[in-house]
Amino acid sequence: MTSTVDPTFYRSPSEAAAAPPEGLAYVAAFDRSGAAPDAMTVVDVDPASERYAQVVGWTDVSPGAELHHFGWNACSSALMHEGHDVEGLSRRYLLVPGLRSSDVHVLDTRPDPRAPRLIKTISAAELSAKAGYSRPHTLHCGPEGIFLTCLGGPLEDPDGPGGIALLDHDTFDVVGPWETDRGPQHFAYDAWWHLQQNVLVSSEWASPSMIEDGLVPELLLGNRYGHTLHFWDLAKGVHQQSVDLGAEHQMVLEVRPSHDPEATWGFVGVVISTADLSASVWRWHRPGPTAPFEVEKVITIPAEPADATLLPPALAPFGAVPPLISDIDLSVDDRFLYVSCWGTGELKQYDVADPAHPREVGSVRLGGIVGRVPHPAEPDLPLAGGPQMVEVSRDGRRVYVTNSLYGAWDDQFYPDGVGAWMAKFDVGPAGGLTPDARFFPHGDAFRGRRVHQVRLQGGDASSDSYCYRS
């Protein structure tokens, strides 16, 4: 009998890497003014296509949403579902939260992947009433349903504890809060897991009022933003352990567990240290099967001195540009870690074959608060913003970046405008990053919107959990 399991559900990392390459990229775009609709854009990423590097699809959603992180309704983790019809699931729907509106838009990518259709909107009121959360940020498809991390509490108390809402895989109804015992956790940001180890890892940014109008200097210098990593029982939703990285390590953001389902290590990025404006990457690991998790800093990226007259008001008193690590991504084979330094405009590549001792093997610069480094396709065009959201192809040979962080923060660090651009880098077998001079959708290509996260057709490095070892 012929199996009807979605062919983009990959049993192992090596199976994912061997699958056909992506032909399209889905890119979230938003209008900062809130006047025009936000949109899901579709970019042709097939080098053999006549429309390579062009926006070939566009789906409007409500204005003022500020589309941010988004993901698939189902992915390779479906192969570990229990009591669920795996053959009835497919990587078909994109769930796209609005970080400001708290609505979640459901887009159907079939029958035409270049023309996603808006089929449902999960309202902020439903999310608040059924799960007790608002400000949805990141989602991952998991074995129990769709896990949606949220920065805020209910609409009537948005600065209450953030956490994870669970959505139904099929109906997209809000089932309720995932946590059954949150312990000391209050701030929320990202969450992902070690499926085979029954462990979920979550991180911290801040409450909505602390971020919505930009970075608040008094709160930052007072070490009031999140600085803790949390470990949970994935099946029970029970908090098990907190590890404080130190109050000066402000804003513990993207968690990237190893793709090897037998591993118990991963990386998390920290935006800034109030001690010296550096940024850092930390590794968590479990030294034994039942031992508590340990967390250690493995990468430090220092701030770069700069002429105060070239800096935005928020940075001028310091005379330096902080790297501002805003995203990290781990290749599917767990070989390379990519670190986006949005402040300095640098994308760094580290060989993490030994995850305890990362080794820098590649670097490229575009934009930057001071550098404004142009793209090879437009050498006379200074760029604002910098590599921000980063996505890696399943085979690890291509890396895509976009340049907007969060509307209010864009305005604060790039007050003369951040623009909109997307770039692609080719990766050598032993490392190294080469900009693709043919690939540079920017400016009018996105109709005045800013661009944020990228998802790749068929899956990518930051949206799949594998159930079997390669």
Q: Enumerate residues 6+ apart whose C-beta is below 8 A from 15.
A: 470
> Residues, the chain, total?
470
- Measuring CA to CA, how many Å separate 52 from each of 17, 48, 196, 386? 22, 7, 39, 22
What is the pTM for the complete model shown?
0.98
d(CA 40, CA 38): 7
**CA pair distance 327, 363, nearest whole angstrom:** 15
For the chain, residues with pLDDT lower than 70 are: 1-3, 82-84
- Is 380 in a helix, a strand, or coil? coil
Residues 6+ apart with CB under 8 A from 385: 342, 345, 367, 403, 404, 405, 410, 414, 418, 419, 421
* 240 beta partners: none
pLDDT tens, residue by residue, 135-168: 999 999 998 899 999 999 999 999 999 999 999 9
Strand arrangement of the beta sheet that strand 398-402 belongs to: 390-392, 398-402, 422-427, 433-435
The secondary structure of 192-238 as a DSSP string is EEEGGGTEEEE-B---GGGTTTS--HHHHHTT-S--EEEEEETTTTE
What is the Cα–Cα distance from 356 to 204, expressed in whole angstroms?
Answer: 23
> Per-residue pLDDT tens for 373-428?
999 999 999 999 999 999 999 999 999 999 999 999 999 999 999 999 999 999 99
Pairing of strands 422-427, 294-301: unpaired
Q: Which residues contact 375 (CB under 8 A, 6 or more apart)?
A: 366, 381, 383, 421, 423, 435, 437, 440, 442
Least Cα distance to 341 among 318, 319, 320, 369 occurs for 369
Nearest to 334 by CA among 200, 142, 453, 466: 466
Contact 189, 252 (CB under 8 A): yes
Domains detected in the chain: 13-456 (2.130.10.10)
Q: What is the pLDDT of residues 288-326, one digit of tens each?
A: 988 999 999 999 999 999 999 999 999 999 999 999 999
Rounded CA separation 315/309 (Å): 10
